[in-house]
Amino acid sequence: MNAIGLTAFGVGFWAFLAIASVAGIVADYKKRQLELEPLRAAIERGAQLDPAIIEKLMTRETKDHSVNPMDLKIGGIITATSGIGVGIASFLVSPWMPQAHYPLLALGVVAVFVATGLLLAARAVQRNARVSIE
């Protein structure tokens, strides 16, 4: 019975990832379609279009995706405290489920390592932003 549960979890996980990916692609397509709708309507009405306007509508808007170091710090703090909490929970759960102690403890340690990575990334982004300003 345990194998069926794990299989169902795995199938559900991969189905979620597939659905989320397809939904992102469809959303991007719909957004682009809405961006080009005014141009299409103007062409159908036979309106004179300025080449600058056509160029502006046809080119994709490039956004500056700079990472805010504060977001990384907040994520690192939340992840670190979650990892510590899971580690403490492993000791609290171990009297009732001794087989769960080490996996939960390992999960807590992994979360703390991820948090450390986020905090180091925040420091690097902040340092890089200072260097590029100067």
Q: What tens digit of pLDDT does each residue of 33-86 get? A: 888 888 788 888 888 877 777 777 677 666 666 788 899 999 999 999 999 999
Write down the pLDDT at residue 133: 64
Q: What does the pLDDT read at residue 16?
A: 92
Q: Where are the domains of the chain?
A: 1-63, 66-134
Distance of CA 131 to the CA centre of its chain: 27
Give tens-digit pLDDT for 95-117: 999 999 999 999 999 999 999 99
